[in-house]
Amino acid sequence: MSEARSAQYPVDAQFVERWSPRSLTGEAIDDQTLFSLFEAARWAPSAFNVQPWRFSYAKQGSDSWDTYLEFLNDFNRSWAKNASALVVVLSKTTSLSAEQEVENPSHSFDTGAAWASIALQAQLSGWVTHGMTGIHKEKIREVLALPGNYAVEAVVAIGKRGDKSVLPEGLQAKESPNERRPLEETVFEGLGFKA
């Protein structure tokens, strides 16, 4: 597959240029850069502006790095060990309404918007991201001592793109941008929805 993706309709290049590589250099990421990604997430829209997203991170080589690597399944650990940072994406499943914590039905939807902002800001800043749900959610819950009203959504690897040769052999062939379903299979006018 070539690295050139084509859009069906005109969009800003950042949308098609973002993809999720697995070959990463493992180089250090400074706080200024990392927090500019969290800043992008901070401005995501959310129902009632509740901002249910939470992020817990470890940087490559930090005291908690090995613990964070253990949050990943074996497959993801095989390549994400060369990330610069691993970010656990959490969401608060309840929100305060009339002084009571009630279920927030859009906690995952809103947190998805926040993660997308991280991915796009990273792309704009010359970094790459790779979302993962091949993770051990119960281990994360236990290690981070999460209260019951917090959900583990995903872990995101952040890094600089590296040479394919750092990847286990089977993954080298897959290291290129993938395609998308045509819009006709995703978007429906009026009552024309098709499953």
Ligand X SMILES: Cc1cc2nc3c(=O)[nH]c(=O)nc-3n(C[C@H](O)[C@H](O)[C@H](O)COP(=O)(O)O)c2cc1C
**90 bridge partner residues:** 54, 152
Residue in 6, 100, 178, 186 binding ligand X, rule: CB under 6 A: 178
What part of residues 56-85 is at the interface with ligand X (CB under 6 A)?
76
Question: Residue 83 — φ and ψ, nearest 5°?
Answer: -75, 160
- Closer residue to ligand X (CB): 97 or 133: 133
- Separation between Cα atoms, residue 19 and residue 7, nearest integer Å: 14
- Closer residue to ligand X (CB): 26 or 177: 177
Binding pattern for the stretch 1-20 against ligand X, x by CB under 6 A and - elsewhere: ------------------xx
What part of residues 119-148 is at the interface with ligand X (CB under 6 A)?
130-134
* Least distance to ligand X, CB of residue 88, Å: 13
Report the SS3 class of residue 79: helix
Instruction: Tell me if 114 contacts ligand X by CB under 6 A.
Output: no
List strand residue ranges (DSSP E) for 44-84, in order.
53-59
Q: Which amino acid is at 25?
A: T
Report the SS3 class of residue 98: coil
Residue in 154, 158, 159, 167 binding ligand X, rule: CB under 6 A: 154
**Burial (Cβ within 10 Å: 0-12, 13-18, ≥19) of residue 177:** middle
Size of the site for ligand X (CB under 6 A): 11
Q: Order the strands of the 53-59 sheet from edge to edge.
A: 53-59, 85-92, 150-159, 128-132
- Closer residue to ligand X (CB): 20 or 33: 20
Q: Given the structure tokens 């005109």, which residue do they identify? A: 10
Cα angle at 102 between 109 and 114, to 5 degrees? Answer: 25
Binding pattern for the stretch 20-39 against ligand X, x by CB under 6 A and - elsewhere: x-------------------
* Least distance to ligand X, CB of residue 190, Å: 29
* Least distance to ligand X, CB of residue 41, Å: 14
What is the contact surface with ligand X in residues (CB under 6 A)? 19-20, 76, 130-134, 154, 177-178
